[in-house]
Amino acid sequence: MIANVSAVRAIPGRSQDNHCRRCLSEIETLGYVLGACPYGETLRIHRHHAIRTKLADALRKLKFTVYEEVHGTVDNGSNRRIDIIAISESLSQVIKIIIIIIIIIIIIIIIIIIIITVDLFRFKENPTIWF
């Protein structure tokens, strides 16, 4: 049989026994062989680390501060390992600038409110002169 498929036993007509030929425990599908069979675990971890390192290097080239394999603990106490934490310093600069702009806008609004209040008091004292 010639087809554009991987030679796994789950393909109909491929084999009478469709269990994984390495561990014999599950049906030998491509997903099982690549993602779950215990015999492929070392290769999966190696592939994961290689991809993680390539992504981290690409993020570093984009001027991110990158941390790999960061250990952490969840609220329920279980341990987790974060593959990549990427921090953009330029993004934090943008956030600082936005906060400064918001503070300036708030100060301008307060100044306008003070001017209007003072003018209203002046108007109440002498309604014939507005300014």
Would you count residue 60 as binding Zn ion (CB under 5 A)? no
- The residues pairing with 67 across neighbouring beta strands, listed in sequence order, are 85
Given the complex with Zn ion, which of 9 and 52 has the nearer CB atom?
9
Site string for Zn ion, 27-46 (x = CB under 5 A): ----------x---------
Listed in sequence order, the residues at least 6 apart from 10 whose beta carbon sits closer than 8 Å to its beta carbon are 18, 27, 28, 29, 30, 32
- Please say which residue, 25 or 65, places its beta carbon nearer to Zn ion: 25
Can you tell me the distance from the alpha carbon of 71 to that of 104, in angstroms, rounded to the nearest whole number? 40
Residue from the set 22, 46, 49, 60 that interacts with Zn ion by CB under 5 A: 22
Piece of the chain touching Zn ion by CB under 5 A; list 22-30, 88-96, 109-117, 123-131: 22-30
How many residues form the binding site for Zn ion (CB under 5 A)?
Answer: 4
The reply to whether 20 sits near Zn ion by the rule CB under 5 A is: yes
Nearer to Zn ion, 25 or 92 (CB): 25
Interface with Zn ion (CB under 5 A), residue from 14, 15, 23, 34 = 23
Two tokens at 39? Answer: 């015999």
Which residue, chain included where needed, has tokens 């992504």?
55
Distances (CA, A) of 87 to 3, 7, 9, 71, 116: 46, 43, 45, 17, 44
> Between residues 18 and 88, which has the closer beta carbon with respect to Zn ion?
18
Q: Give strand pairing partners of 73.
A: 79
Query: Which residues, 6 or more positions from 23, have their beta carbon under 8 angstroms from its beta carbon?
Result: 37, 38, 39
Q: Given the rule CB under 5 A, which residues bind Zn ion? A: 20, 22-23, 37
